[in-house]
């Protein structure tokens, strides 16, 4: 009993914040379509990166700025984060194939830029919720690689004490890791509602896959978020080349709202 009480008080294994939150909000794009001139020698001197005109497709909304200020130090940190996430996922891949990870193992190989880019554009006080492909988000929100791999192996050192596995990882201001396709979207709208209700100057980032994008609860969450003007950003992670203009037009047609 004493042992159990001591164990439940054990702090979740989290990384110390690896980087200071950026003062400016920034976006990233692939290297081939972005362009930078007058790159300074110094690591911490900002310079301007110009994104390609094709970086954003929008529907009844202005695109974000096509230029961003960034330093070499920030770009190196982002690269480090993406490579660390990839290596962690490749290690998990190996352990799964060796049958050391049992049950589910949803990897985000190739999607590292999503978790990394989002984390570098928000603050630690903003909230993130996603579906089951969550290892990269847990890592970027502060979980150690050891605690993520430990979770996959069902170990007590895991970020959810070995009880959650691949789909159920949590960290401060990271609300999982959710296994029911689409269910995290209304929960995310609820997080944003709480932020608005408590007058917190923060935003919720709510991610879902293309597989959830036709669900009723997802449209209901969009609808309520717009009606209540909730501080929320919904993001669809699609591995297919679905036209987001088509999706936005469909959402508009169904809900009568423009986003």
Tokens 């809900």 locate to 255
Give me the least distance between CB of 179 and ligand TPP, in Å please. Answer: 6
- Segment near ligand TPP (CB under 6 A), from 81-89, 191-199, 207-215, 247-255? 207-215
Q: In the beta sheet, which residues pair with residue 207?
A: 235
Q: Which of 209, 217, 220, 224 binds ligand TPP (CB under 6 A)?
A: 209
Nearest 10 degrees: CA dihedral of 18, 19, 20, 24?
-150
How many helices (H) and strands (E) are present in the chain, helices listed first? 8, 6
230: Cβ contacts below 8 Å, ≥ 6 apart:
189, 192, 193, 195, 196, 204, 224
| Helix 72-97 × helix 145-152 angle, to 10° | 20
Site string for ligand TPP, 231-250 (x = CB under 6 A): --------x-----------
Site string for ligand TPP, 129-168 (x = CB under 6 A): --x-x-----------------------------------
Does position 209 bind Mg ion by CB under 5 A?
yes
- Segment near Mg ion (CB under 5 A), from 41-49, 73-81, 116-124, 209-217? 209-217
Does position 103 bind ligand TPP by CB under 6 A?
no
φ/ψ of residue 87, rounded to 5: -65, -40
Give me the least distance between CB of 167 and ligand TPP, in Å please. Answer: 9
Q: Tell me the CA end-to-end span of the chain in Å, nearest whole number.
A: 53
- Residues near ligand TPP (CB under 6 A): 131, 133, 179-181, 209-212, 239
């Amino acid at each position: 009993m004493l042992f159990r009480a001591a164990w439940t008080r054990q702090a979740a294994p989290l990384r110390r914040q690896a980087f200071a939150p950026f003062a400016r909000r920034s976006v990233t794009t692939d290297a081939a379509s972005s362009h930078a001139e007058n790159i300074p020698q110094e690591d911490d001197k900002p310079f301007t990166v110009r994104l390609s005109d094709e970086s954003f497709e929008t529907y009844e909304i202005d695109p974000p700025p096509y230029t961003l200020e960034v330093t070499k130090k920030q770009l190196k940190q982002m690269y480090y984060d993406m490579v660390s996430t990839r290596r962690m996922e490749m290690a998990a891949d190996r352990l799964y194939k060796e049958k050391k990870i049992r049950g589910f193992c949803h990897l985000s190989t190739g999607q590292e830029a999503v978790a990394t880019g989002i984390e570098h554009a928000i603050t630690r006080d903003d909230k993130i919720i996603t579906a089951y492909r969550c290892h990269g988000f847990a890592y970027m929100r502060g979980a150690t690689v050891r605690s993520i791999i430990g979770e996959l192996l069902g170990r007590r050192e895991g970020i959810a004490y070995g009880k959650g596995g691949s789909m159920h990882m949590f960290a401060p201001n990271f609300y999982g890791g959710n296994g029911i396709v689409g269910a995290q979207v209304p929960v995310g709208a609820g997080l944003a509602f709480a932020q608005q209700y408590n007058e917190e100057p923060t935003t919720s980032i709510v991610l879902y896959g293309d597989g959830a994008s036709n669900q009723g609860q997802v449209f209901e969450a969009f609808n309520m978020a717009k009606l209540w003007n909730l501080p929320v950003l919904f993001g669809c992670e699609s591995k297919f080349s679905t036209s987001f203009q088509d999706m936005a037009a469909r959402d508009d047609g169904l809900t009568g709202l423009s986003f």
